[in-house]
């Protein structure tokens, strides 16, 4: 079993694995890497999805994502053969920011990005951060970057606006100092990091300019266009679900009706429509089939909920500060 890779080898390994994804030992190599680093508190896990097999995105989002992967594919050509490395000393890392509306597939795409490179992933969500980032925050940030390097893993931060927010200019309390220290440490770690890191947020405007400029690829996750919606509905309408009309016609209709819906909202429509179809068939004592009218009704219901239920999260500075203090485990 191989030893954990040094930080300088992380992207080299990613490029090699990108070129040999058909290697029958690919999955075994990932599992060995994960087992080697399982002793670490920030554990890498096997990425079980890939971009080509499991992710449906709008055409513009997919192009931006492919450009991120291209930096790995052509890294030697750009940085060594063309000598761009002489003027881009931090070019070994790939730092991506996925931003856009909720439900557009940012988290799934992060895991699929790792899966497509045959690399494990360390996923840090709000729940993990709230439980781990207590007290010596800067040391914990250093630890998670070290874990990603040792595991040769993609490092993924969800809801990253809490971490990458603006540093506080009026420092009045000890906790304000800690917030600034946390963010300064994160900036330093990003400068040192020679691997792949992905941030995801619904509120990219909350980012500090210093973080924005250090991220190499900002990828906007659009709401699905018509073709993407057709693919999403085709995926959700699995072959075993009986429909009341021809499948392609059914998909075309619901794709048109669901303009402005995210992938998550399309899945919600299916969750509502399937029990509805079975209940109505039971009441009418007829063979159960999913009907276009039933999906029209739930699409209207979801649309109505979008406008009537919930409010947008405030992006004011005071709200952002409170969120960060909560992240650090400190009450106001």
pLDDT, tens only, 110-137: 999 999 999 999 998 765 655 555 556 7
* C-alpha to C-alpha distances, 110 to 153, 191, 233, 323, nearest whole angstrom: 12, 21, 22, 24
Q: Which range, of 94-98, 145-149, 308-312, averages the lowest pLDDT?
A: 308-312
pLDDT by residue (tens digit) across 314-330? 444 544 445 544 444 44
Q: What is the pLDDT of residue 3?
A: 42
In the predicted structure, residue 8 carries a pLDDT above the cut 50: no
Q: What is the pLDDT of residue 128?
A: 62
Q: For helices 247-257 and 292-308, what crossing angle results, to 10°?
A: 20
Which residue segments constitute the domains of the chain, with CATH numbers given?
Answer: 7-221 (3.40.50.300), 226-308 (1.10.8.60)
Q: What is the pLDDT of residue 297?
A: 96
Q: What is the pLDDT of residue 200?
A: 93
Q: What is the pLDDT of residue 260?
A: 94
**Whole-angstrom distance, CA of residue 192 vs CA of residue 262:** 36
pLDDT by residue (tens digit) across 240-263? 999 999 999 999 999 999 999 999
116: nearest Cα among 43, 189, 57? 57
pTM: 0.76
In the predicted structure, residue 70 carries a pLDDT above the cut 70: yes
pLDDT by residue (tens digit) across 188-225? 888 888 899 999 998 888 888 888 888 889 999 999 99
3-state secondary structure the chain: CCCCCCHHHHHHHHHHHHHCCCCCCHHHHHHHHHHHCCCCCCCCECCCCCHHHHCCCCHHHHHHHHHHHHHHHCHHHHHHHCCHHHCCCCCCCEEEEEEECCCCCHHHHHHHHHHHCCCCEEEECHHHHHHHCCCCHHHHHHHHHHHHHHHCCEEEECCHHHCCECCCCCCCCHHHHHHHHHHHHHHHHHHHCCCEEEEEECCHHHECHHHHHHCCEEEEECCCCHHHHHHHHHHHCCCCCCECCCHHHHHHHHHHHCCCCCHHHHHHHHHHHHHHHHHHHHHHCCCCCECHHHHHHHHHHHHHHHHHCCCCCCCCHHHHHHHHHHHCCCCC
- Higher pLDDT pick, 289 / 180: 289
């Amino acid at each position: 079993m191989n030893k954990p890779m040094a930080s300088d080898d992380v992207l080299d390994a990613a490029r090699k694995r990108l070129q040999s994804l058909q290697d029958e030992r690919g999955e075994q190599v990932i599992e060995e890497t994960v087992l080697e680093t399982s002793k670490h508190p920030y554990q890498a896990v096997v990425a079980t999805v890939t971009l080509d097999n499991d992710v449906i995105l709008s055409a513009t989002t997919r192009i931006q994502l492919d450009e991120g992967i291209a930096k790995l594919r052509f890294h030697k050509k750009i940085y060594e053969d063309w000598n761009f490395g002489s003027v881009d000393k931090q070019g070994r890392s790939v730092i991506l920011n996925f931003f856009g509306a909720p439900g557009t597939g940012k988290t799934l795409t992060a895991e699929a990005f790792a899966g497509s490179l045959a690399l494990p992933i360390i996923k840090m969500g709000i729940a993990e951060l709230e439980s781990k980032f207590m007290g010596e925050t800067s040391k914990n940030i250093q630890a998670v970057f070290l874990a990603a390097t040792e595991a040769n893993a993609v490092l993924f931060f969800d809801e990253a606006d809490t971490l990458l927010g603006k540093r506080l200019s009026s420092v009045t309390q000890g906790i304000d100092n800690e917030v600034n220290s946390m963010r300064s440490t994160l900036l330093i770690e990003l400068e040192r990091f020679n691997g792949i890191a992905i941030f995801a947020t619904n509120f990219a405007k909350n980012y500090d300019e210093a973080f924005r400029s250090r991220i190499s690829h900002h990828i906007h996750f659009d709401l699905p266009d018509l073709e993407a919606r057709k693919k999403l509905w085709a995926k959700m309408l699995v072959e075993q679900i009986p429909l009341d009309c021809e499948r392609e016609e059914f998909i075309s209709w619901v794709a048109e009706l669901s303009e402005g819906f995210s992938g998550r909202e399309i899945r919600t429509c299916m969750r509502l429509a399937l029990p509805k179809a079975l209940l109505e068939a039971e009441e009418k004592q007829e063979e159960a089939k999913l009907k276009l009218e039933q999906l029209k009704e739930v699409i209207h219901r979801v649309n109505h909920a979008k406008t009537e239920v919930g409010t947008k999260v405030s992006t004011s500075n005071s709200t952002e500060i409170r969120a960060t203090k909560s992240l650090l485990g400190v009450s106001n």
